[in-house]
Structure formats: structure tokens, C-alpha cells
Amino acid sequence: MVDTIAAEEIFKELKQHSISEFFRKNSQMLGYSGKVRSLTTVVHEYVTNSLDACEEAGILPEITVEVKELSESRHSIRNTDNGPGIPSKIIGKVLATVLSGTKFHRYIQQRGQQGIGGSGCTLFSQITTGKPIHLRSSTGRNAYECDLTIDIKSNKPLITNMKEFEPSSFRGLSIYGEFGETKYENSDHGVYEYLRRTALSNPHATIRLVDPEGKETVFLRSVQEMPKRPKPTRPHPLGVTTNDLRDFAHLSASKKVSSFLTDTFSRMSQNKVEELKGIVANVDFDKDPHTLTWDEAEALVKGFKQVKWIAPDLDSLSTVGEKQIELAMKNILNPKFMSVVERRPKVFRGGIPFVVEVGIAYGGNSGRQTEEGVKGTIIRFANKVPLLFDGSACAITEAASSIQWKRYHIKSFDEEPITLLVNVSSVYVPYSGVGKQAVAQEPEIIEEVKLAVMDCGRILQRYISGEKNLSIQTSKYNTIMRYVSQLAINLNDITGISKEEIEKALRAVIEKRYKHMLEEEKKLQEAAASIETAEQPSAEGENAAEEDSEAE
Ligand SMILES: Nc1ncnc2c1ncn2[C@@H]1O[C@H](COP(=O)(O)OP(=O)(O)OP(=O)(O)O)[C@@H](O)[C@H]1O
Ligand SMILES: [Mg+2]
């Protein structure tokens, strides 16, 4: 007979865990898996926070990242920015409490979304070295330094060694942490490549890296203006689920369901509410939104789908911009040819706006250098943040791999000197994991990326077929021209007309015949020269010819 165990016995073990405890056990979900990736993840979290903070405060970002090797598999990172700083009274909440931040509940395009990144670094330092994070902050009025750890059991901050100092000496935030289980590597997944790509998509930022060997690389800003500030927006009715709607209703300050709807959603006018009243029969629009039930929320969401809505407000989106992408690709890849396309904004899940930008660079230093030669490469970004990992789970890779490159005279994407750059921007990027390294495979996003790549591909195709045609013509022209002098001598013998005169006339006839080709060749040479003389790389210490690569 098999011994049975009573339910009471089994559930004696029941315990509730804090969110910090959950992430301590599952730190790989935050991007802490593998030594190289872990180090890049810390830099990614601090740098995206610095960029967001500077942009929100209207400050052109100056960010310095210093990485030191302390011992094998242990590194320190100091990330310093010139942003607004963080007031001392909330520092524990924002950087030592998991799921606490200023961005999760706002509907505005920013790099951070969840309120996990910064506190995740504090947690990772603590569980791999037992040490706190040290930070110095100055808001201009309030300057202090302190140590931070998380009380993992309660997900509460522990602040120690708090000291105030004169605010005049520094403005911004400087975070220092030590991290175990890490490795610095000059690879496609490494910190250098991460910052290089960040500079590419954020030309308004100056980013410095001091690597473990003490070598300093500066990616100087190539644009002196701040990017267009994305407008905060409200969710569109077509982008919400029943669960979202109920959560919004329960947190609402409105007194009635009808005013809750107009206060919460974009495009929800009083007229639309009246229209909804005619469609959704079982909901009392005068009741308190805090008492909205699941069934009522579900009925409303169904009703939303039956109403004709004006498209979402697109001022909420901020892109890198065609000109900036072109400039960045010229600087870094020095291609023979390139094309950039910014598509018109679209929506996914029925109501969340997003926009796709694509650049293709061909020839020059495009593609990635490998032992078997140059290979095609994809550089992925979401809200201007480089995505170096989890490519196979990403909508961008999925879209690019469905392209029939032969149509665009690319025999095989893998074997050509080609770089495909894709940036997806949205108020809410649907990442496929908490580590935010892959865009979820939403059909509308895949479709838009595909269309943008195809737009770029068509321009590329004209270039490649034009170049092939031109090379056939050029070779014919050169062959004929080689015989002109000899022909002029022979004709001079027969006709007695001077050799120079005959040669001149023959050349004029041939040049007339090949006039179009000669003009095309001149244009190509001028285009190449303009790429060569374009603004030179802004990365001091960086080899502009260095290859780019898809990091998977
Ligand atoms: N360098 C900084 N300067 C000013 N404020 C900052 C800085 N870094 C972080 N913060 C504040 O700390 C909060 C928490 O940062 P954290 O990275 O944990 O979350 P997040 O950026 O909101 O979202 P995500 O988890 O997606 O990164 C931010 O929302 C921001 O308000
Ligand atoms: Mg963040």
C-alpha cells in the first residue's frame, strides 16, 4: 500500500515570498545569466535610466561608464550622469525596492517601463558580492551620498552611511556597484558594443567608457538638440484588455463609470460614451467605477470594439529620425550605399501606437567580419535601446528572416556586406521577457518591420542592379577605347586625314554612345566621395572601420 500524505501536512510548508525573493531566485529573468550578459545588463539598466532621466529633465546627456576588474569574475561599475539626480527622501523607494519607479504607470515613451532595472542591479550586487550599492546624487538643492541594499524578505530598502555634501560641486547621479559572476569581453555582447550602439541611436548623448584596461573611448554627441519630447498620452480604448480596464477603474479618482471612461482613455468623448451606452446594455454608467465587476469590464471591452474610433494620438512617439540614422551609418559603417525609411505610425493590439524605422547599409564596412568573410548583420533597437540578446525570440529578427532577399538582388543576406538596422518605438514596447531584450512577436509589428525592410530593399535593389549594369557597360567602353589609337593610325594610312583628328572624332562618337553610363559613373563617384567626406566618426579611440555584428 502507498502511504498518503494529508493536505494539512503538505500545506504546513506554505509561505508567502516577496517579489525581491522571487527575483533573487530567478535573476536570469532580469538578464543575469552568463557572465558577459550580466555585466552588459547592469550597464544597460544604468545607462537607460540616465538617458531617460536626462531627457525628462531636458538636459543633453553626458554619461560616463567605468568598468574595473576587481578579481576573476568580479567587476565594479560606476555610472555617472549629469541628469536631475534623485531626492534623498525617495532614493530607497526607487533604487532598492523592486517594482517601484516613475514610469510603469505613465503612458509616455521612455526606455524604462517596469520599475525593476535599477533595483535589479542592487539585488544582483547584493546576491553575488554581499555588498551595497554606493551612490552620490545632487538635485542642485539636495546633495548626498549613501549605501543601499534591499531587505529581500520584505522588499524594503536599507539605507546606510547617509552623508550630505555641498550641492554646488556636482549635479546628477553617480552609482557605484560591485558585481560577481561577471566578465568583460570585447564581443558583440559586451559593454563596448552596447555603448557603441547606444551612441548610434542616441546621437544627442555623449557617452564615455573607461574599460578595465583603463582605455577611454568617447562617443561624442553629433547632434546638439534634444530629441522631440514625446507627449504623455492616455491609453486608446482599443489597446486595453478586460484586466487593464478593471485595474484602471479600481484606481480611478472619478465618481462615475462614464467620467472614468472620458478621464482615462484617449479619443473617448461624451458622444462616444453615449454611443457605448446604446451598445453595452448591462452596465450602469452612473455607478462607482471602483465597483466595476469583471463581467462589466468584459462587456465594455467588447463594446469598445464595435465603436469607430479616431486613431491613437501619434505625438506620443519619438524616433531616432532618418537624418540621424543616415549620419550614424555613414560615420560608423562608411557604406557604398544606404537607404533609410521611417514608416508612418501604426497600432498593435488594436490601440497601442508604434513606429518602425529601418536603415540598410551596403558595402564599405557594413556587415560583420568573420573568419569565413563578411556576413550580413541585423542591429536591433527598441525605443533607441540596443537589443543584444534573445534575437531568435524577437519580432525584428522574425520579420527580417521572412524577407526574400533575392528579390532585391541580395543572393543570401548571410553572405553579403550588409547591415540592417531596425528601431521599434512605442509608448509600450511589448518585450517578450522582463530582461527586455526581444520585442514580442505581435503580428502588426512583424508586418510593419517587413514592409519597412522591403521599402529599403527596393531602393537597394535599384542600386545593385544599376551598379551591375554599369560595370558591364564600363568594361565594354574601356575595351573599345583601347582600340581607338590603333584604328586612328590605320585610318590615317588609308585616308590621309590626320591621326589626331580621327582619334578625336572617334572618341566623340563613343563618348556620345556611352554618355548615360559616364554620367552614372560620375554620380556614383560623387556619392562615394560625399560618404567619405561626411562628418568623421565621433568616437575617439574607436576604429571607425570596426565591424558590426548581430549579437546572439
Ligand atoms: N540616473 C537616474 N537619474 C534620475 N532618476 C533615476 C535614475 N535612475 C533611476 N531613476 C529613477 O528610478 C526609478 C527606478 O528605476 P528602474 O530602472 O528601477 O525602473 P524604470 O526605469 O522605471 O523601469 P525598468 O525596470 O523598465 O528599467 C526610475 O523610474 C526613475 O524615476
Ligand atoms: Mg530603468
245, pLDDT greater than 60: yes
Half-sphere exposure (Cβ direction) of 428: Cα atoms closer than 13 Å: 19
Most confidently predicted of 15-24, 29-38, 309-318 = 29-38
**Residue range 475-513, pLDDT digits in tens:** 777 888 888 888 888 898 888 888 899 989 988 888 888
pLDDT value for 114: 74
Ligand 1 atom, smallest distance to 103 CA: 22
What confidence category does residue 427 fall into, taking pLDDT thresholds of 50, 70 and 90?
confident
Ligand 1 midpoint to CA 52 (Å): 8
Residue pair 167/141 in contact (Cβ under 8 Å)? The answer is: yes
| C-alpha to C-alpha distance for 547 and 552, rounded to whole angstroms | 15
CATH of domain 314-552: 3.30.230.10
Residue pair 161/74 in contact (Cβ under 8 Å)? The answer is: no
99, pLDDT greater than 70: no
Ligand 1 midpoint to CA 320 (Å): 21
471, pLDDT greater than 90: no
225, pLDDT greater than 50: yes
pLDDT value for 528: 54
Q: Which residue has the higher pLDDT, 411 or 453?
A: 453
Indicate the top mutation candidate among 49, 64, 139, 426 to test ligand 1's pocket, ranked by most ligand atoms within 8 A of CB.
Answer: 49
Q: What would be the CATH architecture of the domain defined by 19-219?
A: 2-Layer Sandwich (3.30)
pLDDT value for 524: 64
Q: Is the CB of 31 under 6 A from ligand 1?
A: no
Residue pair 387/439 in contact (Cβ under 8 Å)? The answer is: yes
Residues 6+ apart with CB under 8 A from 362: 335, 336, 337, 338, 416, 417, 418, 460, 463, 464
Q: Where are the domains of the chain?
A: 19-219, 237-306, 314-552
| pLDDT mean over 280-296 | 95
Q: Is the CB of 103 under 6 A from ligand 1?
A: yes
pLDDT value for 527: 58
**Residue range 344-390, pLDDT digits in tens:** 888 888 778 899 999 999 999 899 888 888 999 999 999 999 999 99
451, pLDDT greater than 70: yes
Q: Which residue has the higher pLDDT, 479 or 273?
A: 273
Ligand 1 atom, smallest distance to 173 CA: 1
pLDDT value for 550: 34
Ligand 2 midpoint to CA 31 (Å): 13
Q: Is the CB of 261 under 6 A from ligand 1?
A: no
What confidence category does residue 526 fall into, taking pLDDT thresholds of 50, 70 and 90?
low
| C-alpha to C-alpha distance for 129 and 494, rounded to whole angstroms | 95
| C-alpha to C-alpha distance for 183 and 32, rounded to whole angstroms | 12
Surrounding ion ligand 2 within 5 Å at CB are 49, 112, 117
What confidence category does residue 534 fall into, taking pLDDT thresholds of 50, 70 and 90?
very low
Q: Range with the lowest mean pLDDT among 23-37, 297-311, 527-541?
A: 527-541
CATH of domain 237-306: 1.10.8.50
